[in-house]
Amino acid sequence: MPVTDALLLLHGTLATPGTLFGTDTNQHATAYVLSFGAAASGASYPYLPEFPSIAEKGYSFPPEIVGDGGVEMGVHLVISTAVIGTSGGMTAGTLFVGTGSTDSVSTTIAQRTLTITQLGVAGAHYFIPVPVASIVQYLGCFQQATTHAADSGTGIIWFGPKTGGEQ
């Protein structure tokens, strides 16, 4: 799966960050969903829907370099303006990463809960490792506030490789 863009944005843009964990405590989809195309059936070239292939399984040296558990791609969250949840007592926010064969991305494949203290640091950069092999066709995120919605706060969410410095 080639990455064809520097930032595959899921929520907000560099110029206009999106609102984080607002409205209520229900799950709210991020603004964008990514499509990776239909999965290969293995019926045509290159004939193998998985990697590494069965033929490569017995090699002494793997055909790829792995690190950090082999999960180098994921969802990034950068807090643009601090998330504030004081009026209703918001305690945390969970970012769910979902996939599916439709753009409803209803199957959760990764998630991370961040405390209100973590979300209250403007400029903080968080990373959620996403097992790329679990992506069906579409990838998107859902935000869910715990206890109460945030009073304010914005951020940018994107899918991409680790960049260094994220927590």
Looking at residue 37, what is its pLDDT?
80
Looking at the domain assignment, is residue 48 inside a domain? Answer: no
Looking at the domain assignment, is residue 146 inside a domain? Answer: yes
CATH number for the domain spanning 14: value is 2.60.120.1110
Contact 167, 119 (CB under 8 A): no
pLDDT at 80 over 90: yes
Looking at the domain assignment, is residue 166 inside a domain? Answer: no
Looking at the domain assignment, is residue 56 inside a domain? Answer: no
Instruction: Note the pLDDT tens digit of each residue in 96-110.
Output: 999 998 889 999 999
Looking at the domain assignment, is residue 77 inside a domain? Answer: yes
Contact 75, 134 (CB under 8 A): no
Looking at the domain assignment, is residue 65 inside a domain? Answer: no
Looking at residue 3, what is its pLDDT?
44
For residues 145 and 23, what is the distance between their CA atoms, to the nearest angstrom?
9
Task: Identify the burial level of 11 via C-beta atoms within 10 angstroms of its C-beta, where 0-12 means exposed, 13-18 middle and 19 or more buried.
Answer: buried
Domain count, the chain: 1
Instruction: Note the pLDDT tens digit of each residue in 5-52.
Output: 446 899 998 889 999 999 999 999 999 999 888 766 666 665 555 554
Looking at the domain assignment, is residue 13 inside a domain? Answer: yes
How many percent of the chain have pLDDT more than 70?
Answer: 76
Looking at the domain assignment, is residue 52 inside a domain? Answer: no
Instruction: Note the pLDDT tens digit of each residue in 89-146.
Output: 899 999 999 999 888 999 999 999 999 999 999 999 999 999 888 888 899 999 999 9
What is the residue range of 151's domain?
Answer: 8-41+72-161
For residues 15 and 17, what is the distance between their CA atoms, to the nearest angstrom?
6
Name the nearest CA neighbour of 136 among 28, 49, 32. Answer: 49
